[in-house]
Amino acid sequence: MPKLKYNSTTFEHNGYWLRLFFYWERGRWHLEFRKGNLKKYQSLRKADEETAKTEFYRRKLELQKTGYLPEVFDTDLFSQFDIFLDWSRRRSQSKGTYKRHEQTLRRFADFIRNEKIDRITPKIYEKYIDHLRSKSLAPRTIDIHLTAIGKFITVIEKDLRIIPEGTYPRPRLLRVKKSKDPDYLTIEEIGSILDATKNSYLYDMIIFALNTGLRIGEIRCLRWEDIDLEAGHFRVQGYEMDGVKFEPKDHGVRKIKLNNDALDVLKRLEKMRIFSPWVFASRLGTPRSKDNLVRDLGIFYRRAGIEKKGKWHLLRRTFATHLLNAGTGIEAVSKLLGHSELQTTIDSYTSVVQEMDRAVDRLNFGR
C-alpha cells in the first residue's frame, strides 16, 4: 500500500470507484480507477496538487455523464449493449425512445448469442435482415431495428469512445421510400399562421422556429445563457438544471447563426425578460409544456385554414425546404438540422434534392 499524502478525494457512481492520491515514493499524483476486481492506476506525472484535482473533477463529471470509466470497463460485445442501454435510459428525451432501443438491441443480442457470434460484420447484418424477414417484419420495421444498431455504434464509438471509430461496420438500411414527401408551409401559409398568432405567445416562437429549424424540444428548452446576441449566434446543447433535463436528439452541440428575424425576436423578448433562465418561458418561468404547444399550434393552424399534418415539425420542414429551394447545400442544411447522418437529410427531402439535380441538368454552357 503506497504512503498517501491525500486520499479524501474519492467518488463512487454506478459501481465505479474513482480516487485521487499522492504516491510518496515516486513523488507523483495518481488516479485510481476501480470496478469490482478490476483496478487500474494512471500517473499524472508532473501535475501539481491543483492540476491533479482539476483532472480528478474532470473525470468525475465524465463518469457522472457517461456512467462508466473506460479504464476498467469490460468491452465485450454484450457489455457494450448494456452500457449503451444504460446511456439511452439516462439520455433519451422520452421513455419511448429508450424502450425502442431496449427492444431492438435485446433482439439483436439474442440473435448474436444464438448464432454464437462475438464480432459484428457486414455478413451478420445480411443474416439478421433475413432473420427479421422470416419473422414477417415489414421493411420499415426492419429499418427501425437497423437504425437502433447504427445508433448503438455511434454512441459507443463517438460519444462514449469505448472502442476506436470504425471498429464495427454500420448497417445499411433498406430505406423504404415514403409514399410522398413531407409537407411544408408555403410563403402564403406562413403569412396566414403569423397573422393568426399575432397576439399569441406562439407568435415569437413560430418566427424563431421558422428561422432556425429547431425541434420543439430544443426551442422550448432554449436558455438565455446559450445565446450570444452580440456575436449573433446560439448553441443547442444538453444540460440539467433546476429540475429540467434536456438533451438534443443528436446528443451533440451545434452552433447556429441568428439571422435578422431571429435576432429581432430575441431582442424583443430580452426587453420583457422575467426571472426565468429560459427564453420562451411560461408565466411560471418554466419551459412550456410540449403537449400545450402542440395543442395550441393545432388550434391556430385550423384558424389559419392550414390542414397539413406535422404541427411543430412542419415548421422545421419548412425551414429546411425553403433553404434547399434557395440553393443552400444539402450538407449545410443537414448540419443546421442537427442530423447525425447526411443520408437522413437526403432521405427526408428526396423531391427537393431531385429537383435541384434536375435544375443542374438544365444548364448548357458547352459549345
Q: List pLDDT tens digits, range 259-293.
A: 999 999 999 998 888 788 999 999 888 999 999 99
**Cα 127 → chain centroid:** 30
Strands 239-241 and 254-257: unpaired
CATH number at residue 108: 1.10.150
Same domain assignment for residues 286 and 253: yes
> Is the residue at 366 inside a domain?
no
In a domain, 94, yes or no: yes
Max intra-chain CA distance, the chain: 84
Judge if 125 and 255 occupy the same domain.
no
Q: How far is CA 346 from CA 138, 340, 354, in A?
A: 22, 12, 9
Q: Evaluate whether residue 50 is within a structural domain.
A: yes
Structural domain that includes position 21 = 10-69
217, 237 Cβ separation under 8 angstroms: no
At residue 167 the predicted structure's pLDDT band, cuts being 50, 70 and 90, is confident
User: What rounded mean pLDDT belongs to the chain?
Assistant: 84
In a domain, 164, yes or no: no
Same domain (yes/no): 105, 18 = no
In a shared domain, residues 211 and 353? yes
Contact 215, 249 (CB under 8 A): yes
Q: Which long-range contacts (CB under 8 A, 24 or more apart) does 241-247 make?
A: 241/277, 242/277, 244/286, 244/287, 246/93, 246/217, 246/221, 247/91, 247/92, 247/93
* Nearby residues of 301 by Cβ (< 8 Å), 6 or more positions away: 193, 307, 308, 311
Same domain for 347 and 218, yes or no, is: yes
**Could you tell me the CATH number of the domain that includes residue 253?**
1.10.443.10
For residue 59, which of 2, 8, 15, 17 has the smallest C-alpha distance?
Answer: 17
Averaged pLDDT for residues 298-306: 92
138 and 202 belong to one structural domain: no
∠ Cα 326 301 227 (to 5°): 60
Q: Which of 50, 69, 88 is the last residue of a domain?
A: 69
pLDDT in tens, 100-130: 999 999 999 999 888 887 678 888 999 999 9
90 with 192, same domain: the answer is: no
Evaluate whether residue 84 is within a structural domain: yes
Whole-angstrom distance, CA of residue 189 vs CA of residue 187: 5
In a shared domain, residues 276 and 149: no
The answer to the question of residue 41 being in a domain is yes
Query: Residue 5 domain-assigned?
Result: no
Between 159 and 26, name the one with better pLDDT. Answer: 159
Confidence of residue 218 (pLDDT cuts 50, 70, 90): very high
121 and 216 inside one domain: no
| Within-domain flag for 1 | no
Same domain, 326 and 202: yes
Total of domains in the chain: 3
Res 179: pLDDT: 44
Q: What percent of the chain has pLDDT over 90?
A: 37
Same-domain status, 107 and 49: no
Q: Tell whether 215 and 311 lie within a shared domain.
A: yes
- Per-residue pLDDT at 173: 85
Supply 95's cell numbers: 421513455
